[in-house]
Amino acid sequence: MLEQMLDKEFETKPVKEVIKASPAALQGISDAGAEALKKHLGISSIEDMASNKYFLWAQAMTTVASTIK
C-alpha cells in the first residue's frame, strides 16, 4: 500500500520515520513543491501536512459535500 504513496527510497522505512520526512517523499510532490509548501504554509513534513488546518478544512468540506444529495 505505501509503495503507491511514497517515492521508492521511503517505501521500506517505518511509518513513524516517513511522517517526519519532507512532503517530497510522497509520490507526485517534487522538491520544489515541498519547498513551496514550506514557504507558504509552514509545512516541513508529511506530519505537518496531515495536521495543517487548510488540508483539514478541505477534507471536511469534501466529506460534507459528499453527503449532500
* DSSP code per residue over the chain: -GGGTB-GGGTTS-HHHHTTS-GGGBTT--HHHHHHHHHHH---SHHHHHH-HHHHHHHHHHHHHHH--
Spatial separation of the C-alpha atoms in residues 36 and 6, rounded to whole Å: 19
> How many Cα atoms within 13 Å fall on the side-chain side of residue 28?
3
pLDDT digits (tens, 9 = 90+) for 3-26: 899 999 999 999 999 999 999 999
pTM for the predicted model, two decimal places: 0.88
Q: What average pLDDT is seen over the chain?
A: 96
